[in-house]
């Protein structure tokens, strides 16, 4: 759900099977999974930018 420019809201809920955040939502984002602390982090990144 788009809230305003640069802000989006993704909903998560529990399930009996594994869930995968879709490819579109992952584009140009670095996603960090901190299993030890049960946290997830997101940071914008320009993955398609030339090195």
Any idea where the domains of the chain sit in the sequence? 22-51
Quick one: pLDDT at residue 46? 85
Quick one: pLDDT at residue 26? 79
Tell me how far apart the alpha carbons of residues 3 and 8 are, in angstroms, rounded to a whole number: 5
What's the pLDDT tens digit per position in 1-51? Answer: 556 777 777 777 777 887 776 767 778 888 899 999 999 888 888 877 666
Q: CA separation (Å) from 23 to 2, 18, 29, 36, 37? A: 17, 15, 10, 25, 25
Q: Which two tokens stand for residue 34?
A: 């901190």
Q: What is the pLDDT of residue 1?
A: 54
- Kind plus residue range of the DSSP H or E element containing 25: helix 23-26
Q: What angle do CA 25, 43, 26 make, to 5 degrees?
A: 15
Which pLDDT belongs to residue 34? 93
């Amino acid at each position: 759900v788009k809230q305003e420019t640069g802000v989006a809201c993704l909903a998560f809920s529990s399930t009996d099977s594994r869930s995968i955040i879709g490819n579109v939502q992952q584009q140009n984002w670095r996603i960090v999974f901190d299993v030890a602390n049960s946290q997830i982090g997101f940071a914008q990144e320009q993955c398609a930018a030339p090195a």
